[in-house]
A and B are shown apart, each in its own frame.
Chain A
Amino acid sequence: MQVSPNDIVFIVIISSCCLFIAAAALITYVRLYNERKKKHFEEKELMAAEFDRQLMQSQLETQEETLNVVSRELHDNIGQLLNSTKLLIGVTERSLAAVPETLITAGQTLGQAIQELRALSKSLDKDWLSQFNFVENLEAEISRIHSAQTLHIEFSRPETLPLAPGQQIILFRIVQEIVQNVIKHAQAKKAVIRIVKYPGHLTLHISDDGIGFVGDDAPKGLGLRNIKHRTALLGGSVQWHTRPGGGTVVEISLPVNQTNE
């Protein structure tokens, strides 16, 4: 059978069109399947992030509970022992005709220790923290540090903080951790804590005039990790700016719920 040239042209055009459509269909299928894979991948990422958040939350809750137990132990056990000791010193003082100077100093030092212990116990107590706001708690913490005369802290802040009580506790723990780092590692004389409220977010700057650090000398361990974790839990970010001898600035930015503002 003889096939005419026109038939061949027709066959070639039709089959080329079909093959072209087949190629386009396969590429479209690859594209659509890949989109589905993307969705699945995003869901997996979201689940992993949620799992991390829950894990972090439970770690922090456990930590809060532990601090709470420590706080009660300090108050109920060690506090009582110190109170009894102070009472015994008082009894001894009254029974002596001439009270030695060292005993008076010991009594005063013990009184200071009891006050310090009460303040520390309060700052670790979760119920106490939830009753008061962040600003009041931090001011109490600062006056406790001032009484130890190791570091002077300047604190500036807005009237109110647009954060829920739970978030305020986490932020308070972050500040406590940073201030402890300044006291332990920075050899600083002065630190400044500044909180600024912006529409939609809040920034917290903590700077000191200490020795600073370079990349490799950065304090490693649980402290910095806790700061990062806690900031992440609040949905914020944390950055360290430092140079040797030039002090350190910790900058925390937190998103703020408009309803809390």
Chain B
Amino acid sequence: MLFPFTQIAELVCLIFAIRFLAGIKDSFWGYIRWFMLFTVMVEIAGHAMLSMNVPNHWLYNLYLPVEMLFKYYLLYKICNGYFPVKYLAVSFLALFGLLYAYEGIASGFNEYSVWSNSAASVGILTICCFYFYYFLKKEEYVDIYQHAPFWIVTALFFFYLGGTACNVFFKYLANIYEKQHIPVRYIIYTLLNFIFYGCWSYSFVCRYRQTTSSLS
């Protein structure tokens, strides 16, 4: 049984979201708390199923569209002021939807939809790269250490670029874990999740500071 590092990181991030994003209702920051709560619930359920030797791929397959829709929504909200992200996001989401439907029909949701996840990851990475490009191109100086959206995008960029190799070799790694019990995917994703949720937690603190400073 693998130790639930990822679930702990998610729980800490949820606590940060509740603490620092409380009272924000009118923007996408307000929805992050609900998304984090949903993620933690799914992860705890998935971990419990794994510990009882019950297959949990169908659960993550159900979580995947919610996760991708929310992450694309976040990117749309953050990047919209920098470049026209709408068509790019819709195109990748459409590709994700097609692959997701194909994988679902082909395997009956019993296998993780890895190719649709990979397609959505490429879309997220592309949008992140555009964001960084336009962020640097912008004439005004922005202090990145105080700029909450920057850390949201950085987290997504690290997570999806770092997880590319695991996505490509997903089936091989699953076989290796089954036969030889080498948890390569688990180790890499634990590290990526720590970076991801660390960056998100930091962005919540930045957002909180921004709110308090504008009131004083």
**Main secondary structure on B side of the interface with A:** helix
A11 pairs with B169, CB closer than 8 A: yes
B161 pairs with A31, CB closer than 8 A: no
Q: How many residues of chain B get a CB closer than 8 Å to chain A's CBs? A: 27
Q: How far is the CB of B64 from chain A (nearest CB, A)?
A: 21
B144 within 8 A of A: yes
A59 within 8 A of B: no
Which chain B residue has the least Cβ–Cβ distance from A9? B184
A23 pairs with B132, CB closer than 8 A: no
A33 to B169, CA, bound (A): 35
**Main secondary structure on A side of the interface with B:** helix
Q: How far is the CB of B198 from chain A (nearest CB, A)?
A: 13
- In the complex with contacts A8-B173, A11-B169, A12-B169, A34-B144 CB distance below 8 A: yes
B72 within 8 A of A: no
Contacts of A31 in B (CB 8 A): 144
A120 to B161, CA, bound (A): 77
Contacts of A66 in B (CB 8 A): none
Contact with A along B123-146 (1 / 0, CB 8 A): 000000000100110001111100
A22 within 8 A of B: yes
Contacts of B136 in A (CB 8 A): 30, 33-34, 37
B169 pairs with A23, CB closer than 8 A: no
Q: How far is the CB of A177 from chain B (nearest CB, A)?
A: 33
CB<8 Å pairs between A and B, sample of 15: A5-B180, A5-B182, A9-B184, A12-B184, A16-B166, A23-B157, A23-B158, A26-B132, A27-B158, A31-B144, A34-B136, A34-B144, A37-B136, A38-B143, A41-B141
Give me the interface of A with B, judged by CB distance under 8 Å. Answer: 5, 8-9, 11-13, 15-16, 19-20, 22-24, 26-27, 30-31, 33-34, 37-38, 40-41
